[in-house]
Structure 1
Amino acid sequence: MTDLTYTRLTHAIASLEKNIARDSDEIQVRAQFMDVIAQDTARVAEMIGAMKVDDDTISETKELSKILRGLSEATLAYASSADTTAKSAHAAGEQARTTHAGIDEAVSRAPVNVSEVDREWFRQE
């Protein structure tokens, strides 16, 4: 098992934060796209209704619009959850940086090199 250092921890957390934020943004874009598709389908249903297309086609298009609207709403709710997750990841990153930066600074200023000390020694009571 590799040793977890402050530098590795901060890099891992920063990478995770970035990935979660990027994924959250992508989900938001796709949710908005689904909303546009649902609105377009509703407009198509209205247009074909005005052209006196058969009732079955009109009702199927309206039903598809409702399904897409529901999918859009679910995707937007999921996007909101993803945004909350991204904010939580950022807060966890800030907490890790705040907490561990002090530890890293104290270790780096310590007159004793503890990197070679057996870790079990620290666990002793």
Structure 2
Amino acid sequence: MADLTYTQLTKEIADFTTTVIKSSGAIQARAQALDEDARDTNRIAEQIGAMRVDKATIAETRELAKIMAGLSEQAIAYASAGDTTARVAKAAGDQANASHGGFYEAAARSIIGADVYDINREWFRQE
């Protein structure tokens, strides 16, 4: 099995960051829609209360609105964690570039052929 190359590492990090950002945005959008639905449900509870519907139905509708609002709040927190994960992934990519980018650029500019990559790593560790 081949080792992970610098190019593969940067691509994987970029792909992961993009996926997390897209997913976080989708979660955020659904959480906001759920929050709007919770507000609508609360308004419905008020409207049916004005129609003198039985108190148990009004209470159930209000309880549903509270549950939906809580779900929305938790989904927004989850999406926020996704944003944090994306920032950490980007920072990892930046760190990989800072610590290995110079080596990669030097190897890419090298006049030595691809056969240099077939050298046993232990050879480099010898004194």
Q: Do they superpose with TM above 0.5?
A: yes
Task: Map Cα deviations across residues 28-82 of structure 1 (whole Å, 9 max, x no partner).
Answer: 1111111111111111101111111111110110111111111111111111111
Distance 1:124 1:49 in 2: 83
Contact 1:41 1:62 (8 Å CA) reproduced: yes
State how 1:1-125 maps to structure 2 within 5 Å. 1-110=1-110, 114-124=116-126
> Counterpart of 1:52 in 2: which secondary structure?
coil
Contact 1:41 1:61 (8 Å CA) reproduced: yes
Give the percent of matched residue pairs that are identical in Structure 1 and Structure 2: 54
Query: What TM-score, normalized by structure 2, do the two folds share?
Result: 0.86
> Counterpart of 1:115 in 2: which secondary structure?
helix
Distance 1:81 1:32 in 2: 16
Paired residues, what number?
125
Distance 2:16 2:82 in 1: 13
- Change over 3 Å in CA distance of 1:49–1:124 after alignment to 2: farther
Q: Which runs of 5+ in 1 are unaligned?
A: none
